[in-house]
């Protein structure tokens, strides 16, 4: 099944490349300068194209590896028509990276990444792309491991891979945002450890330096960096996060403005948002059954967490991106669950906006029981209009 899907993907890609206007030509765009408030406002409500370009099988990335259909322009158009202004495209590279010393990214894979980016970019959307699964110990082929012993080689590989990505997208305007990594940590659920956190800081610094030095619009582009596991407490607290210096940025950027953004994710309380259990199905002050509501992680907690990011970074000119948030579908167990899911995403979106952050909903492409999906990607239809309405009202 996977083999057949890959063949379909390759055939579609070959056909697309064979016709004019395939979108693989780098757009020549003016370098429009956007300050922190402008970029967050322009990003509006965001949506993740999850479980696609970061999907992989046996260390080989493939957009259909986890059961999703080939990404199409029609899907992106549907997402835009629904009201989203930003699309985050998680990307894995893994075994699509060749051996050292050059660490060349497979040309067909980089072309496909660019083609999917262009589906959104050419429609006027903001686009975020990152390095997603390469830092997960649980993923076959992962290599960006912060507590591995061969850090010199890892950092060299990381620099050369990002140099290729940044070069490919150097002419894109400020609607394209590059994100250094995703949820990088040592794999243990606990307080950050050293030297792992220092290595994550080093990766972020390499990323910023490398992208800036490729020139073009990259010299002034907004760049997105996370702390430990994109965790708010471990990024804002005294656990070791160090903001990269932006020493190679364009002199055209006003000295009192930044061009770095802070990446955080928000899934609290997990027993409501992500735990595949029917015990907790309600959330928020509108909950009618205390037994179905988590004992923590309600509106006051959400506000306090977002305020931490605001106080630490936004007030200093570094806007934030809540790059992932959401709540899984438990309507099969509690018919009132859709209401609380909508309450939750509305609250996250609104609170993010209140504190100078852009919210980007996590959609993993799965609908129904325990799914995060807002769209059916095969039929290109909306499946959760109530959730979408709630998100849009949150950022309105």
Structure tokens at 33: 């300068």
| Cα–Cα distance, 106 to 95 (Å, whole number) | 9
* Residue 357: Cβ within 10 Å count: 28
CB 148 within 8 A of CB 203: no
| Cα–Cα distance, 90 to 182 (Å, whole number) | 8
- The helix (H) or strand (E) run that includes residue 322 is strand 320-325
86 backbone dihedrals φ, ψ, rounded to 5°: -135, 140
60 backbone dihedrals φ, ψ, rounded to 5°: -110, 115
| Cα–Cα distance, 99 to 267 (Å, whole number) | 37
364 backbone dihedrals φ, ψ, rounded to 5°: -95, 5
Active site residue 257: no
Name, in order, each residue with C-beta under 8 angstroms of 221's C-beta and a sequence gap of 6 or more: 174, 176, 177, 178, 211, 259
What letter would DSSP give residue 294? -
- Beta bridge partners, 308, equal none
CB 177 within 8 A of CB 217: no
CB 340 within 8 A of CB 328: no
From residue 241, give the alpha-carbon distance in Å to each of 107, 144, 202, 230, 324.
34, 18, 10, 11, 20
Active site residue 63: no
Catalytic positions are 183, 324
């Amino acid at each position: 099944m996977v083999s057949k899907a890959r063949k379909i993907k390759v055939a579609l890609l070959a056909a697309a490349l064979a016709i004019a206007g395939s979108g693989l030509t780098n757009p020549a765009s003016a370098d429009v300068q956007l300050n922190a408030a402008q970029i967050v406002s322009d990003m509006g409500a965001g949506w993740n194209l999850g479980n696609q370009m970061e999907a992989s099988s046996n260390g080989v990335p493939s957009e259909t590896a986890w059961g999703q259909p080939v990404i199409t322009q029609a899907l992106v158009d549907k997402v835009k028509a629904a009201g989203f202004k930003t699309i985050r495209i998680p990307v894995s590279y893994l075994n699509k990276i060749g051996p050292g010393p050059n660490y060349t990214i497979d040309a067909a894979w980089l072309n496909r990444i660019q083609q999917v980016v262009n589906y959104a970019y050419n429609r006027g959307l903001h686009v975020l792309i990152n390095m997603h699964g390469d830092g997960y110990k649980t993923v076959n082929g992962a290599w960006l491991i912060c507590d591995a012993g061969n850090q010199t080689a890892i950092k060299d590989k990381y620099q050369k891979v990002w140099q290729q990505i940044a070069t490919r997208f150097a002419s894109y305007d400020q609607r394209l945002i590059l994100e250094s990594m995703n949820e990088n940590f040592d794999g243990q659920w606990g307080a950050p450890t050293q030297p792992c956190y220092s290595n994550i800081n080093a990766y972020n610094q390499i990323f910023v330096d490398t992208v800036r030095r490729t020139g073009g619009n990259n010299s002034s582009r907004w760049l997105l960096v996370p702390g430990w596991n994109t965790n708010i407490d471990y990024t804002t607290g005294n656990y070791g996060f160090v903001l990269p210096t932006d020493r190679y940025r364009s002199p055209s950027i006003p000295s009192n403005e930044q061009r770095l953004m802070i990446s955080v994710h928000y899934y609290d309380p997990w027993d409501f948002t992500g735990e595949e259990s029917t015990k907790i199905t309600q959330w928020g002050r509108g909950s009618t059954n205390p037994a179905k509501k988590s004992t923590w992680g309600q509106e006051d907690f959400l506000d306090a967490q977002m305020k931490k990011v605001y106080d630490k970074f936004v007030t200093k000119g570094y806007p934030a991106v809540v790059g992932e948030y959401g709540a899984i579908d438990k309507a099969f167990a509690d018919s009132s669950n859709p209401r609380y899911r909508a309450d939750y995403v509305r609250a996250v979106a609104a609170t993010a906006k209140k504190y100078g952050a852009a919210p980007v909903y996590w959609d993993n492409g799965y609908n129904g029981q325990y799914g995060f999906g807002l769209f059916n990607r095969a039929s290109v239809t909306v499946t959760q209009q109530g959730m979408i309405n709630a998100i849009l009202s949150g950022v309105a």
